[in-house]
Amino acid sequence: MPTKMESICCRENRNTLSLIPEGGQCVTENRDFTSRCLKKSEIDFIFRVLGTVTRSHTNDPEYNRNLRKTAYRCFTVLAHGYLGAGIRRPIPACAVNAIRQTYPDPDGLYVGFKFAEDYDASDMALSL
């Protein structure tokens, strides 16, 4: 990860540490993480609910980006519960990497973690 804030380990945060299965080493081994954040059909459904999308976006170049953003939101809720509008927490590097591998950018270009006040509100919404 490019910044120190993004280079956190799931073992460094008590909320994500509690998600590591007994005998496991990483939050990415958690069944809820794999089923709720990495299962494409689940993330696609949640994306459609959040974005009220009814048509298929599988050919849209922004499709995987939207799935990544949705998966990041799902991880945040899994780890911290609902935080409220504009409240963000960095996601551990292991979870970010797993999500990026599942929903890759075709050009390998990714935006790192930003606090809500770091950019315009119009950029915060899911791109539809």
Query: Which pLDDT tens digit goes with each residue over 73-103?
Result: 999 999 999 988 878 888 999 999 999 999 9
Residue 44 phi/psi, 5° resolution? -60, -45
Q: Is 70 exposed, middle or buried (0-12, 13-18, 19+ CB in 10 A)?
A: buried
Query: Rounded to whole angstroms, how far apart are CA atoms 82 and 60?
Result: 29
Q: How sure is the predictor about 128, in pLDDT bands with cuts at 50, 70 and 90?
A: very low
- Tokens at residue 103, please? 């929903």
Nearest to 104 by CA among 42, 46, 40: 40
- The domain ranges of the chain are 10-123
Q: Which residue has the higher pLDDT, 22 or 113?
A: 22
Q: Which residue has the higher pLDDT, 112 or 11?
A: 11
